[in-house]
Amino acid sequence: MDASKETWGSRTGLILAMAGNAVGLGNFLRFPVQAVQNGGGAFIIPYLICFLLMGIPLLFTEWSIGRFGGKLGNHSTPYILDSMSKKSIWKYIGVFGIFTNIAVVAYYTYIESWTFIYVLHTVFGTFNGMGKEEVSLFFDNYVNLTGSDLGIRYLPAIVYLLVLGVNVYILSTGLGGIEKVAKIGMPLLILFGCVLAYQGWTMGADFASREFPDANAWDGINFLWTPQYSSLADPKVWLAAAGQIFFTLSVGMGSIQCYASYVKENEDIALNSVTAGFTNEFVEVLLGSAIVIPIAAGFLGLDWVIENAGFGMAFQTMPYLFQQWGVVFGAVAGVCWFGLLFFAGITSSLAMGTPWMGFMQDEFGWGKVKGAVSFGLIALIMGLPTVLFYRYGYFDEYDYWGGTVSLVIFALLETILFAWVFGIDKGWQELNRGADIRIPNIYKWIMKYVTPTLLLLVLIGAMFTPAGNDWAAAVSGLLDGQGYALESSSLISKLSHADLKAQLLVNPEKADLI
Ligand code: PHE
Ligand code: NA
């Protein structure tokens, strides 16, 4: 088949692939941590508002842009954006949509490889009989390459190569392979998630340990779900909420556009985009919040969770907690948990590989195999530093620049292109062609005015994040002439302190950001 005429096999395949794209490690590792670090119930209202006012409009925009580009035979953002305007600058802006995917996939596939080996360790019973500290130390040794796992010194690098290789292989089989993985992975993931969530929701206070007699799973659930309106005035919470919405929906990346460029010209995108987006939210808000936090709170207490919330919990704490349910159910829970993470991860990393392949196809006419192999090599070159130097915090740098800043910048620019350069009237028509639902007209207005304004605010907020994230102090400092101290992670101070090395030396242990 002519590569440029390739399309998704079926509507189910398309929706599952798109949902698989969105549902990822972000739902299970990033969301709960962001929620806890931003005050639990304080997080949820800004989060849902960001979903409605930025997430949904960006999904509409990206699906429309993608299908529009595909109609002209383009499958990568440089070519697609270029076809939407007369100015050649958009072609260069489109390159963001390739770069970001590579930067993120480099560390993403590494985490994916941990989930894979942890499934095996669960099956082998590696964690049986280990104490809490021991399980946590096992992880530290693994990522710092200081132990020898299964008797192999560089096992983490080998497993990483293997998982990357599996990605490359599936990508080389084209959309058919991606659909197949999504059709198997998504239902299993949801099933595993439901088993664990059920366990989380029903465990109550039964398992509280001697060390934490007040531990109760429901404390965790209530903490996440009791809304606190005071947070609405806190820019820090809004920034975190917006960042999570971007990452979790895979918007601002170029990846949705690429998948959408394989949708047939008159096939619905209005209902499909909403379905994929809501599936992601269902998995994130219901399953993502019902597993790590309640289970950890059930054993160790909410205070422990609040103090220790970090993405390492998934690997450092969960294997120990599962065992408290007994050898058999503990193993079932472990396989469900790491298996779920693996499927969530691989359906997303495949989605990050396709933009590169689309670009190679548009630019050089490369086929699937050449595209997939070159993707693997590039991802490997970018990823090896995270594997070998994890402990120096490379990870954070990728997540910050690739997984946060670029997304906001790219999303802002593409919204301007779609609503103002291409024109919202044309854009609205594009979105509604073949639509199976009527999108409320108010979204036309939101997409033109509200979304770009909010994106601009988020970008400005990220540039000027004050020290300690204390906005009130920063503003009053500015007013009474004491100056405005920037947080070291703000965009501006990052740009002016490009001496990465110095930062890494001071701050080697900062792996809780993803
Ligand atoms: N949305 C994915 C997650 O939640 C991450 C992702 C981003 C996947 C961009 C593809 C493209 O983990
Ligand atoms: Na997600």
Q: How far apart are CA 456 and CA 89, in angstroms?
A: 20
Tell whether the model's pLDDT for residue 1 goes beyond 70: no
Alpha carbon nearest to ligand 1 atom 6, residue: 250
From ligand 1's centre to the CA of 27, what distance in Å? 9
Tell whether the model's pLDDT for residue 474 goes beyond 50: yes
Top-confidence residue, 200 or 183? 183
Alpha-carbon dihedral 282, 284, 290, 292, rounded to 10 degrees: 160
**Atom number, ligand 1, closest to the C-alpha of residue 100:** 9
**CB-based pocket (< 6 A), ligand 1:** 21-22, 24-27, 247-248, 250, 253, 255, 348, 351-352
Tell whether the model's pLDDT for residue 268 goes beyond 60: yes
User: Quick one: pLDDT at residue 381?
Assistant: 95
Top-confidence residue, 47 or 386? 47
From ligand 2's centre to the CA of 114, what distance in Å? 18
Confidence of residue 495 (pLDDT cuts 50, 70, 90): low
Q: pLDDT for 270-293, tens place per residue?
A: 999 999 999 999 999 999 999 999
Confidence of residue 501 (pLDDT cuts 50, 70, 90): very low
Top-confidence residue, 226 or 391? 226
Mean pLDDT, range 395-406, rounded to an integer: 77
Q: Which of 59, 110, 250 to mutate to test the pocket of ligand 1 (most atoms within 8 A of CB)?
A: 250
**Atom number, ligand 1, closest to the C-alpha of residue 249:** 1
Task: Indicate left, alpha or beta for 195 from its phi (over 0: left) and psi (-120 to 50: alpha).
Answer: alpha
**Atom number, ligand 1, closest to the C-alpha of residue 345:** 12
Mean pLDDT of the chain, nearest integer:
91
Q: Which of 233-237, 241-245, 431-435 has the lowest mean pLDDT?
A: 233-237
**Atom number, ligand 1, closest to the C-alpha of residue 27:** 4
User: Quick one: pLDDT at residue 369?
Assistant: 98
Tell whether the model's pLDDT for residue 229 goes beyond 90: no
What residue type is assigned to position 48 of the chain? L
- Token pair of 158 as six digits: 């080998």
Nearest to 324 by CA among 315, 316, 333: 333
Where is 200: in which H helix or E strand? helix 175-202
Tell whether the model's pLDDT for residue 267 goes beyond 50: yes
Confidence of residue 373 (pLDDT cuts 50, 70, 90): very high
Helical spans, DSSP H, in 250-367: 255-260, 270-281, 292-300, 302-308, 313-316, 318-323, 327-364
Mean pLDDT, range 98-120, rounded to an integer: 94
Q: Which of 247, 259, 281, 354 to mutate to test the pocket of ligand 1 (most atoms within 8 A of CB)?
A: 247
Complex confidence, ipTM: 0.98
471, with CB counted inside 10 A (0-12, 13-18, 19+), is: middle
User: Quick one: pLDDT at residue 513?
Assistant: 40
User: Quick one: pLDDT at residue 504?
Assistant: 45
